[in-house]
Amino acid sequence: MSSILAVFGATGKQGSSVVNYVLNDPELSRKYKIRAITRDVNSEKAKKLEEKVEVVRGDVLDRSSLGTALAGVHTVFAVTTPFATNVPLFGPKGLESEYNQAKNIADAAVEQGAQYIIFSTLPSPTKISGGKWTSVTPFDAKEKAEQYIRGLPIKSAFVSPGGFMENYVDLGFWSPKRTPDGGWILVGSASPKAEYPLVDAVGNTGNFVGAILAEPDKYEGKIFHAATALYSWEEIAAIISKATGKNVVYKQTPVEELEKMIPFGAEVFIDGFQFMEEFGYYGPDSRKLIAWAVDNARGKLTTFEEYLSTHPVQME
């Protein structure tokens, strides 16, 4: 008999990746029956998902809705977001909101007798930097939730995704900008040599989570630092150039200019990249941690070059 795998965020990037990976894996599709949990079961994405798996309502901000959603579940994949409300929440309120999302899921999972939780976490810039960078609250919130989950009477493992390759296609302010002379620049506050881990969130989250689902005891307590590789900003620009056929160069830009370009959460993004340059996305052992995750992932991971070959960058 298959165990029920509850997937939060099943209509989003990470959750949908887990759903599709399990459904298409011969071993995992026999081992697990998927229950997709979403706030709006009547959305277009939820209706489409219902053609493939069970879909039930569960709101991470409404603790009372999660008991029924998690009844009979064996394993939970949980993801939180600062966008769970109608407006993105950053700062202290955002930290507590996102932490409480994870706490609600984890507490309900324990109460319903679930055996295992896989949580999408992130490193804490505040902790790694010794209190120097404290405004990257979406990262801090997830790490705080990770520590809470580790203290509960339930087995757990974690994935810690790098930057999404999708951002270069989905977010306009992330894409290259045209210069007055007809060239193209990719802007950021970090130096050209600073490195940033990238992952195909939709294509590869399932590869990391799938490894845990296949061997939960082996990976209990461990973190998959989920990225294909580290890329410097000048390498990212060069890869975009090759994919688009346009000459794209990276330009290190003053913080004051960047703040005008980012429509929301500018401090979070800018401070986050400055933290990464100084301390490393996952801290000083970032390269080693990513290498371990790549070696233990289930199946081939997508490089940034491969991703852009099938997902064109929007150049305006």
Q: Residue 284: pLDDT band by 50, 70, 90 thresholds?
A: very high
Q: Residue 86: pLDDT band by 50, 70, 90 thresholds?
A: low
Flag whether pLDDT at 242 surpasses 90: yes
Superfamily grouping for domain 3-162+200-224: NAD(P)-binding Rossmann-like Domain (3.40.50.720)
At 133 the pLDDT is 94
At 84 the pLDDT is 54
Please answer whether residues 304 and 231 qualify as being in contact, where contact means their C-beta atoms are separated by less than 8 angstroms: yes
Range of 118-122, 133-137, 164-168, 311-315 with top mean pLDDT: 118-122
Q: Residue 89: pLDDT band by 50, 70, 90 thresholds?
A: low
Flag whether pLDDT at 88 surpasses 90: no
pLDDT tens sequence across 184-217: 999 888 999 999 999 999 999 999 999 999 999 9
Scanning the structure block, which residue is given the tokens 């802007």? 187
Flag whether pLDDT at 30 surpasses 90: yes
Query: How high does pLDDT run on average in the chain?
Result: 92
Mean pLDDT of 113-119: 98
d(CA 274, CA 252): 12
Mean pLDDT of 263-283: 89
Q: What CATH number matches the domain at 167-195+229-283+301-310, 3.90.25.10, 3.30.360.10, 3.30.930.10, 3.90.1300.10? A: 3.90.25.10
Task: List, by residue range, all CATH 3.90.25.10 domains of the chain.
Answer: 167-195+229-283+301-310
Contacts 24+ apart (CB under 8 A), 49-55: 49/10, 49/11, 49/16, 49/19, 52/19, 52/23, 53/10, 53/19, 53/23, 55/10
**Amino acid (one-letter) located at 40:** D
At 43 the pLDDT is 92
pTM attached to this predicted model: 0.94
At 181 the pLDDT is 86
Mean pLDDT of 9-19: 95
Task: List, by residue range, all CATH 3.40.50.720 domains of the chain.
Answer: 3-162+200-224
pLDDT tens sequence across 102-111: 999 999 999 9
Per the model's pLDDT, the better-predicted residue between 43 and 86 turns out to be 43
Please answer whether residues 248 and 184 qualify as being in contact, where contact means their C-beta atoms are separated by less than 8 angstroms: yes
At 280 the pLDDT is 97
Phi-psi group of 9: left, alpha or beta (phi > 0 → left; psi -120 to 50 → alpha; rest → beta): left
Mean pLDDT of 132-160: 96
- CB within 8 Å of 56: residues ≥ 6 apart: 35, 36, 37, 38, 41, 68, 69
- Please report, rounded to a whole number, the percentage of residues in the chain having pLDDT higher than 70: 95
Q: Residue 62: pLDDT band by 50, 70, 90 thresholds?
A: confident
Q: Residue 90: pLDDT band by 50, 70, 90 thresholds?
A: low
